[in-house]
Structure 1
Amino acid sequence: MKYDKDKVKESLAIEDIHKILKDLGSENNQWDQQGNPIYRTVCHNASGGSYKLYYYHEAKQFHCYTECGDTFDVFELVIRAKGQKGVNISFNQAIEYVAKAVGKTFGFGNRTTYINNDLIDDWEWIRKFKKKKRINIELPSFKETVLDVFMPYPHQSWLDESISHKTLKEFEIGYYFRSHTEGITIPHRDLNNRLVGIRKRSMIQEEVKAGYKYMPLKVGNILYNHQTMMNLYGLNKTKSSIGRLKKALIFESEKSVLKCQDFYGEANFTCAVCSSNISNFHRDILLSLGVEEVFIAFDKYRPLKEDETEERYQEKLVEYQKKILKLAAKFTPYVRVFVLWDYEDLLDYKDSPVDKGKEILEELMKRKIEIGTDEGGI
């Protein structure tokens, strides 16, 4: 049977998602403050996952807030979860799995009519070139009074990284200290300057070692989390430069945006995804600002692990490169796309392209690699 993937996905209610996740091994979900279900991760582990897999019903997207750091739909989740259990399935098989799991009957029936899937794919590719309209999704906002709880003082560790007092104040960076938590506070605002979330850079070593270096901040009974896949950090400050210069440079972390604010001031055309993924929402936000050039400036890949062979490491490195190309492919039908890649060992492992200073960043910009439509389609 042939299933219409879009109809299947759009038809899924929260109860359907619960059923699918239970079948994949993630039961007894939790809920966030906005009413989004949170599941145990099954995307990168076969069992024993933590409650870091969020589902955003309006967007029909999952986001893993731990090892993956990715945003994906239900079909990709099925592929990943099955793969963790040693079962490799195709995209079409994932669609069929979802449809059958929740009893959906969308599709072309049991007819033997020939379906030209290549032609369908071609039309889907052509539709990519339709001009993107300004997206209207608006994240929930929080009361500004919470900012009064934080100490308005910069942490010495960020000052040591040459981020100025002026920039830290301009971006409202503060510090939160209670008996159970401690960290640098990073308010997130949307294009309209609404407070949509607050992240914390933990200063508790146990949390950092456990993989919780950056996380949503909880104050009292309120968790100030937000859908990072629907917002780009720093745009409330840099959107004018991005619109004027028609360029956008995308980093992974907030700190990189702050450093570029000190480097370039009113000419700062950067933003951050706060993960290792670029969502379609990120893309559409930037396209709505009229960008003509996009630069992907993600962190340098990790070093070789102690128990890892060189051959395995090279395989993982190639996977990372392919991932960057797939992210670039989100933009290639609309604008020129470049990737900053450190071939000359100008950076240390896991460095942001900005971490070694302005000169190194600009050297990497000179050596940027343009990604064409064919390359991005890998």
Structure 2
Amino acid sequence: MSPTTVIVGSSVGGVRTAQALRAAGYEGEVVLVGEEDDLPYDKPPLSKALLSGASTPEHISLLTRQQAADAGIRLMLGRTATGLDTARQRVELADGEALGYDHLVIATGARARQSPWGTPPGVHVLRTLGDAEALGRDLRRGGPLVVVGAGFIGAEVAATARTMGVADVTIVDPAPVPMSRVLHPAVADRFRQLQNDHGVVTRFGIGVEDIESTAAGLLVRLADGSELPAATVVVGIGAQPNDEWLRASELTVDNGVVCDEYSRAVGVQNVYAVGDVARWFHPGHGGLIRVEHWTNAVDQAACVAHNITHPDQLRTHEPVEYVWSDQYDWKIQITGRTGPELDPVTVHGNDPERSFAVLYGAPDGTMAGALVTNWPRALITCRRVVGTVSVEEARRTVEALVRPLAGSVE
């Protein structure tokens, strides 16, 4: 009897795992379970092209029914996993069905943190296709937009809204600068200026006390006593892993499914996790990490598929982190670690106002990561050398990219 791999989660991590299994020669049954009724789709465009209407659900499809059939992937969409019996190797679904497996891949991702101020009409979070479609409809009705949270999602939504013609956009965040979790304050302030240059009002260092629904619309009350009228509010205050359905299982669940360096769930047999829901041991960092990046989900899916099909040749999953953000006509790319505790060194490209690289040094002087804006050649170089050379050597290497192109725009 041929083996069965059940993959729970139909976003990019789950889809890429299914496809990678087939590419690796896996001949058993592959079952892809998804909570949403929609066919699998890509999520980065939700805050950009899909939200603005420049793209459609068909354009962001990850897997059509025909592609699934051709690859021998059985789709079970609109089905919610509610429990896991590792002793019997069965996934329990909300409708009472139980799926047996020989290998299980958990790819349930993460969900947006809900608004602590309630969700009256006009208040949105953004994580799913349905979220993006509902938000787009409200933005097209017009009126002021208030974005609570200045991480990647909040900054992208504000930028997209302005390109859609929303005239009155305000970002509110208790942090002093945008994207504060991943950038040094001096660097992050350049992206506050980017928003201001495009007409967005920024209220940093101020928290939200309440969001009230009134006869005139929404009213966002701030901690300093001021009030912001709004037709639409987007709450972008982070995400949390979809791991509650596993809490009663034998798995170790702590801010995600805890895994070893091979992405195997610790303490159980034949269970793996990929993407936002996985918290795994990264040999390069010497500890457990959980990464909410599209690229990580894709890379981890390939690693898990290899380890399922080649159990005697296990591969560790120890990627160099990479994430990007599109805001207006700026491409912002981050590789490695760029936390506010690290020391930044800035190298300007041929158009210093737009193209620059910020190199981040670890305490031992090694280049820990980099932020690169509108400078593709510098990004390629930084991804190649991160973690392997000193910040000073990396700076010289990146600076050398400017000289052959002096006088031109990158």
Please state which band the TM-score falls in when normalised by the shorter chain.
under 0.3
More strand, by proportion: 2
Name the larger-Rg structure: 2
Higher helix share: 1
| Higher relative contact order structure (alpha carbons within 8 Å, sequence separation ≥ 6) | 2
Q: What TM-score comes out, normalization by structure 1 length?
A: 0.28
